[in-house]
Amino acid sequence: MKMFTLGFLILNVSAMANTQALVTKSNASGFTPPEWVRSETCEVFADRVEITKQMGMGEKGVRLNETRKVKLTGNLEQLVAQVAKEELTEKENGLCDGPSTTISARENLIFTTGGCGSPRKERQGASSRILREIVDSYCATTHDFGARD
């Protein structure tokens, strides 16, 4: 009975890892007429990448869903956990109603464009950089306007 319980727990943890994305990137076009709305979301899992693109809204809108099989190896859970320990920097951002990008490793923010009184935020560290590079390889666009030194 103990072996059955242990086996079930291992399978359950493995299944959970595949149901929650390791890293997610979302792009939005900002304030624009419905026919010009563009959004894109990439969710990277250990075994696949799910990409959703929206072009236009309402009856003229089109949604594209794509799933790509991938195989990420390494200690991915440790990489995601390390993000929370990395420094989150903020810069003022004067952009309002423009396009935006948000990248997160599960519940931990890695990057956001900010705007309309919200600062641009970015994690500084190797784990954040690696996860950004992974998601950028499937959804390359990152809106990063308004951040000035």
Q: Is residue 71 part of a domain?
A: yes
| Residues paired with 103 in a beta bridge | 25, 111
* Position 17 in a domain: no
In a domain, 13, yes or no: no
Q: How many domains does the chain have?
A: 1
- Evaluate whether 103 touches 40 at the Cβ level (below 8 Å): no
Residue type (1 letter), 130: I
pTM of the model: 0.83
Give the domain range for residue 81.
23-136
Digits of tens for pLDDT over the chain (149 positions)? 555 444 444 444 444 456 899 999 999 998 889 899 999 999 999 999 999 999 999 888 999 999 999 999 999 999 999 999 999 999 988 778 888 999 999 999 999 998 787 899 999 999 999 999 999 999 888 887 655 54
Provide the token pair at 101.
Answer: 């990008």
Cite the beta strand spans of 31-149 per DSSP E.
Answer: 38-44, 48-55, 62-69, 87-91, 100-105, 108-112, 120-124
**Residue 82 φ then ψ, to 5°:** -65, -30
pLDDT of the residue at 6: 44
